Structure formats: C-alpha cells, structure tokens
C-alpha cells in the first residue's frame, strides 16, 4: 500500500510481488484505495511515437508499456501521429 500511494504503478507492484496486475487491483480496492488510470509519461509518448513510425504496432507498444492499446492510440493521436490503417501492411 505504501509503495502504491508513493507512486508505484500496479504493474510495477505486480512484477515486484510476482502476481498478476488484477490481484494488485483487487487488493488495493479491498483496502478502499482508489486506483488511477494507466498513463504514459511525456518521454514514453515520444519514444512510443518514434517506435510506431518505425513500424511497431499499437498492440506491441501497449504490451511494452503495460497499458491498453486504446491508451496508446489516444496518446499517439494526441501527439499528432498519423495512424496507419488497421491490419498488417506490406504483406501479400
């Protein structure tokens, strides 16, 4: 609980204790703590945008940052990144 209130993410706590993130979520909610939405820091958004432009998918970026694909998509759009059409490009 102290680590969470000090700013540690649920994913970092899950990694630290070797449990799933949902386990951490349930424990925190059981203690009456309000959890915060997953977010990316500005430097993470910049790196994600560069990786996306180099060919990474939104799903790959989401997995790397331990957030939902919709979160990555929203941050990329907010950063002015032009998104590719859905699906694999360049495959025949």
Tens of pLDDT, residue by residue over 34-52, are 555 567 889 999 999 999 9
Mean pLDDT over the full length of the chain: 83
Listed in sequence order, the residues at least 6 apart from 38 whose beta carbon sits closer than 8 Å to its beta carbon are 9, 66, 67, 68, 71
2-23 confidence digits (pLDDT tens): 666 566 777 888 899 999 988 8
Verdict on whether the full-model pTM lies above 0.95: no
Q: Compute the distance between CA of residue 41 and CA of residue 39 in angstroms, rounded to an integer.
A: 7
Q: Compute the distance between CA of residue 36 and CA of residue 6 in angstroms, rounded to an integer.
A: 13
Alpha carbon distances (Å) from 18 to 13, 22, 46? 8, 12, 29
Q: Compute the distance between CA of residue 24 and CA of residue 30 in angstroms, rounded to an integer.
A: 10
């Amino acid at each position: 609980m102290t680590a969470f209130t000090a700013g540690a993410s649920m994913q970092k706590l899950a990694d630290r204790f070797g449990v799933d993130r949902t386990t951490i979520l349930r424990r925190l909610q059981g203690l009456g703590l309000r959890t915060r939405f997953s977010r990316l820091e500005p430097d993470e958004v910049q790196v994600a945008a560069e990786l996306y432009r180099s060919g990474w998918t939104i799903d790959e970026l989401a997995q790397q940052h331990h957030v939902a694909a919709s979160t990555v998509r929203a941050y990329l759009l907010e950063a002015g990144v032009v998104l590719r059409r859905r699906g694999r490009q360049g495959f025949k």
